[in-house]
C-alpha cells in the first residue's frame, strides 16, 4: 500500500470509529445514528430529517460537531465547512484534532462522501477554498482565482 493510501485508510478508519456507526452518522435533529450521507440530499432514516447537502452539513457541524459559525468568528476558530473540490458543494468538513481528542483529522464531503487525509488538500491563498494538490501544485491561487484575476485586467 502506498503512503498516500495508508494515510487515507487511517483517516477513514478513524472517521468510522468516531463519526460513523456503520454507514450512519449522527442525525443533527433526532441525534440518533440514522443519517445517511453521500448524496445531494442526505436523509435520516429515523426522523426523516433531510435537506440539501450544504444545509445538512451546516446543521451537523452546529448540532453534532458543536462548532458554531458565531463561535468560529468570535474565537477566531476555523469554520470547518468549505466547498468540496470534487463535487463543488458547500459540504466539505475539515476535521481538526482538538486538544485532548483523538478524533480524525482530515476532510469528509457530506455530498459525495469523498475523504482526504489531513494535509492532502491545499488551501488557495485567494478564496481560501481547499483544492486538490494537482490544481495548486506550484501555485498559491486556484484555477478559478487565476481566471478571475486574468478576467479583471
Number of residues engaging Zn ion in binding (CB under 5 A): 18
Q: Which stretch binds Zn ion (CB under 5 A): 16-24, 63-71, 81-89, 132-140?
A: 81-89
Calpha distance 6→125 (Å, rounded): 28
Q: How far apart are CA 80 and CA 6, in angstroms?
A: 24
- Is there binding between residue 108 and Zn ion (CB under 5 A)? no
- Give 62 or 101: the residue with its C-beta nearer to Zn ion: 62
Question: Which of 146, 123, 118 has the alpha carbon at shortest distance from 133?
Answer: 123
Regarding 93 and contact with Zn ion (CB under 5 A), the answer is no
Query: What's 14's DSSP letter?
Result: H
Select from 61, 124, 130, 136 the one that contacts Zn ion (CB under 5 A): 124
Check binding of 38 to Zn ion (CB under 5 A): no
Nearest distance from C-beta of residue 77 to Zn ion, angstroms: 21
Q: Which stretch binds Zn ion (CB under 5 A): 11-19, 61-69, 71-79, 135-143?
A: 135-143
Span of 4-12, 15-23, 63-71, 80-88 interacting with Zn ion by CB under 5 A: 80-88
The SS3 call for residue 93 is strand
CA angle (133, 134, 135) in 5-degree steps? 90
Residue of the chain from 15, 19, 25, 27 that contacts Zn ion (CB under 5 A) = 27
Give dist(CA 79, CA 68) in Å, integer: 8
Residue 117 host element (H or E): strand 115-117
Q: Which of 69, 57, 50, 72 has the alpha carbon at shortest distance from 19?
A: 57
Interface stretch with Zn ion, choices 6-14, 54-62, 68-76, 87-95 (CB under 5 A)? 87-95
Among 25, 93, 112, 136, binds Zn ion (CB under 5 A): 112
Amino acid at each position: 500500500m502506498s503512503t498516500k493510501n495508508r494515510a487515507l485508510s487511517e483517516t477513514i478508519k478513524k472517521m468510522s470509529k468516531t463519526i460513523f456507526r456503520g454507514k450512519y452518522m449522527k442525525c443533527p435533529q433526532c441525534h440518533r445514528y440514522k443519517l445517511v450521507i453521500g448524496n445531494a440530499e442526505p436523509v435520516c432514516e429515523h426522523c426523516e430529517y433531510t435537506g440539501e447537502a450544504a444545509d445538512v452539513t451546516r446543521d451537523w457541524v452546529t448540532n453534532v460537531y458543536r462548532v458554531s459559525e458565531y463561535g468560529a468568528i468570535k474565537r477566531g476558530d476555523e469554520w470547518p465547512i468549505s466547498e468540496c473540490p470534487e463535487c463543488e458543494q458547500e459540504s466539505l468538513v475539515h476535521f481538526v484534532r482538538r486538544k485532548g481528542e483523538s478524533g480524525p483529522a482530515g476532510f469528509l464531503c457530506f455530498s459525495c462522501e469523498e475523504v482526504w487525509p489531513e494535509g492532502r488538500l491545499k488551501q488557495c491563498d485567494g478564496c481560501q477554498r481547499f483544492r486538490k494538490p494537482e490544481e495548486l501544485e506550484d501555485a498559491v491561487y486556484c484555477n478559478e482565482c487565476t481566471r478571475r484575476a486574468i478576467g479583471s485586467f
